[in-house]
Amino acid sequence: MSGRERKYVNTVLDQVGRAFVNNLKEGDIIVMEKLIGIRSRAKHRRSLNESFHSWVFRRLQFFIEYKTLEKRLPWFMLNRKTLS
């Protein structure tokens, strides 16, 4: 990804994260899953490798995390194994 594309993606993710956090109501809690190993767990065709590995889910999670910390809102990160 070029510098211009990366900057654009970060701007969009920042806006999405801000909109998500701003739409929370008092008493809401954010619960996110740890995404470690998601690429190895997902099934996809070899032809989709490039688009699959350019997903920015972790970066979006980071934007949401720091925006909730700025507003002092509660959020939790759960391990996938303990969810089911």
pLDDT tens digits for range 33-57? 877 666 666 666 666 665 555 567 8
pTM of the model: 0.70
Identify the CA nearest to 12 among candidates 72, 59, 70. Answer: 59
What confidence score (pLDDT) does residue 60 get?
87
- Residue range 21-30: mean pLDDT, rounded: 90
Tokens 């089911």 identify what position? 84
Average pLDDT taken over every residue of the chain: 81
* Per-residue pLDDT, 22: 94
* Confidence (pLDDT) at 16: 93
What pLDDT, on a 0 to 100 scale, did the predictor assign at position 44? 60
